[in-house]
Structure 1
Amino acid sequence: MKPLRDKVAVVTGATRGCGRAIAVELGRLGATVFVTGRTTREQASPMKRPETIEETAELVDAAGGRGIPVRCDYTSVADVDALRERVESEGRLDILVDDVWGGDQYLDWDNPYWESSLDDALTMVHNGIDTHLIALHRLLPLLTARPGGLVLEVTDGDTVNDETYPGPSIPYYLVKAAMRTLGRALGVELAKHGCVGLTVTPGFLRSEAMLEYFKVTEETWRDAITSGVGGDHGPHFAISETPYYLARGVAALALDPDAKRFAGKTMASWTLKREYGFTDLDGTQPDWGHWHDEVVKPGADPSTVDTSKYR
């Protein structure tokens, strides 16, 4: 069964992580997916990661969809205009997942903002916010041409009260809070056109970059819990999730005829799981939200907590 076989999606930042997984899961439902990002087999991005948009498109095809890789730098209006022309050739746009980030190498977790690099901070904001505004400005006219469209902003964290600053990076917080704000605004604006807009977030993610940071693979990731490589973060990795966990939540949203009930909200992988009942690739259901509230926030010793209650 391919319930999205007549649908067209654009996933920004689909080279790796949640963007890649979301593209694949939409393809699994039969969608035509424009797999967009900056890294191709011929040209690397400043991120200097090995993953490519062609690989993602091939995974979409293998899952049963149609993957169309299009190199697109979302800081370039000309690039996005060219992408829009490609999408227009398909005759429609039904789903837009806005997952551009490109800020990892500009993060400074160790110094106060005023002692960090201003150029890095501004680049992070440019890559993390301006890109989303450009994508929305150019692609929303296609999506709102008919009712039923779905737009998802991707962020980090489901904080509703943006006055609760989690630290420690002001620019990072600004970018991620902006995505939640965009989702709230889109929830209102898109409803006027019979479409749905909201924000989604993963929990503690086992992305390609995070597995590399912890010096593990998807097969050996549990070793990171006690290896000490991640410092204080290691024990919390027990409640980590693959990018496909959020992607399955996105797929469920795309199939939900009443997705408008979530318009403007920030839905996390764990809140989507509670709503739709899906599992991660290994059959577990990580609940980072409960873990954060009951273990991380109060400062409990994670090694003394029964992790099975949160998976």
Structure 2
Amino acid sequence: MSHTASVPAASPTALAGRVALVAGATRGAGRAFAVELGSAGATVHVTGRTTRDRISEVGRATETIEETAALVTEAGGEGIAHPTDHLDPEQVRRLAARVEDGHGRLDVLVNNTWGGEHLIPFGRALWDTPLDEGLRMLDLGVRSHLITASLLLPLLIRHPGGLHVEVTDGSAETNRRFRENVFFDLARYAPIRMALGLARDLEPHGSTAVCVTPGFLRSEQMLDGLGVREENWRDALAGQPHFAIAESPAYVARGVVALAADPDRARWNGRSVTSGTLAQEYGFTDTDGSAPDGWRYFEEVVLGGKKAGPEGYR
């Protein structure tokens, strides 16, 4: 399939004057959410645990939250870094107070905290999973999301039109299949249920909750694991042919920008959507001009046995 020029989700001023916060913005999709929101003109508060002076349990010193803030500003917005552990309610309360003091409101909240890839116990039964590691996954994927939403949504509901985005791996449709391990399955399904419940809570305030998932994400961590960089990611296809459907972090981030800029975003309230679905709806592309639909590819080809290649899904 031939690729066209890259199509962004919105104009450079589509979110001018908006205040956004991306929780978990150090790297991967979180960093891309922040940068794409900035490229549409938003002021973006970014949080994370890895700073110039401290490395989180993920163990990557190559990306910092200060660097993310600088990239937001470089993209055309205003990036403001807040080193924050979202499992500590007092740190999140202080974060909320800083946003309130600076702006008095919040227009977009992206709840992207995670950082549990190193804990995923592939193929292990519940009782064969170290309990502390399993509970840590629930802390990172569930408890942190609940703390973040509980303490920051009061700022979002001050004015109608707010957007709350839960971020996970898989949609309600794709996650009907069991995901590897009980702890991991619960951690990845919880944000979907949170968006559904928060949709009810936010609707009377004129605000919207949506759960968003990327497809096969070319995060920094994934690229490093495959021994490639974004510039030559296709070199990994010899050992991982399904990586041909992979998408850059900017792709799902463009979907969130499109949601934030859509005056009719309430039609998505409570839904769980993929980056591919948002691209079809809003007409944006990935950075290479393609429009990958990774989850449909995995459902139909990898798991469903359809005889087709990834080219027809991007």
Q: Could you tell me the TM-score, scaled by structure 1's length? A: 0.94
Contact kept in structure 2, 1:165 and 1:173, CA below 8 Å: no
Are residues 290 and 104 of structure 1, via their aligned partners in 2, closer, same or farther at CA, if it must alter by over 3 Å? Answer: closer
Within 1, Cα distance between the matches of 2:311 and 2:178? Answer: 26
Contact kept in structure 1, 2:168 and 2:213, CA below 8 Å: yes
Measured after TM superposition, the shift of residue 299 of structure 1 is 3.7
Measured after TM superposition, the shift of residue 159 of structure 1 is 2.8
User: Letter of the aligned partner of 2:201 in structure 1?
Assistant: E
Measured after TM superposition, the shift of residue 308 of structure 1 is 2.1
Within 1, Cα distance between the matches of 2:77 and 2:39? Answer: 6
Does residue 5 of structure 1 match 2:16? yes
Match of 1:31 among 31, 35, 42: 42
2:153 aligns with: 140
2:303 aligns with: 297
Paired residues for 1:110-259 under 5 Å: 110-160=123-173, 164-226=176-238, 228=239, 234-259=240-265
User: Letter of the aligned partner of 1:23 in structure 2?
Assistant: A
Within 1, Cα distance between the matches of 2:13 and 2:88? Answer: 34
Q: Deviations over 1:147-182 (max 9, x none)?
A: 1100000011113386x3333121111011101000
Within 2, Cα distance between the matches of 1:46 and 1:167? Answer: 23
Within 2, Cα distance between the matches of 1:108 and 1:283? Answer: 35
1:41 aligns with: 52
Within 1, Cα distance between the matches of 2:174 and 2:237? Answer: 30
Measured after TM superposition, the shift of residue 91 of structure 1 is 1.9
2:311 aligns with: 308
Paired residues for 1:53-64 under 5 Å: 53-64=65-76
Gaps of 5+ in 2: 1-11
Does residue 20 of structure 1 match 2:35? no
Gaps of 5+ in 1: 229-233
RMSD across aligned positions (CA): 1.3
Within 2, Cα distance between the matches of 1:191 and 1:159? Answer: 20
User: Letter of the aligned partner of 1:7 in structure 2?
Assistant: R
Within 2, Cα distance between the matches of 1:285 and 1:5? Answer: 26
2:266 aligns with: 260
Within 1, Cα distance between the matches of 2:179 and 2:159? Answer: 41
Contact kept in structure 1, 2:251 and 2:285, CA below 8 Å: yes
Does residue 70 of structure 1 match 2:82? yes
Match of 2:294 among 288, 295, 300: 288
Q: Which moved more, 1:182-191 or 1:110-119?
A: 110-119
Structure possessing the higher relative contact order (Cα contacts under 8 Å, 6 or more residues apart): 2
Contact kept in structure 1, 2:174 and 2:295, CA below 8 Å: no
Measured after TM superposition, the shift of residue 146 of structure 1 is 1.0
Contact kept in structure 1, 2:52 and 2:66, CA below 8 Å: yes
Contact kept in structure 2, 1:124 and 1:172, CA below 8 Å: yes
Q: Deviations over 1:215-236 (max 9, x none)?
A: 111111111111x2xxxxx111
1:231 aligns with: none
1:102 aligns with: 115
Measured after TM superposition, the shift of residue 294 of structure 1 is 2.0
Q: Deviations over 1:222-260 (max 9, x none)?
A: 11111x2xxxxx111100001100000111001000000
- After TM superposition, the runs of 4+ consecutive aligned structure 1 residues lying more than 3 A away are none
Q: Could you tell me the TM-score, scaled by structure 2's length? A: 0.93
Identity of aligned residues (%): 49
Within 1, Cα distance between the matches of 2:301 and 2:133? Answer: 33
Measured after TM superposition, the shift of residue 300 of structure 1 is 5.2
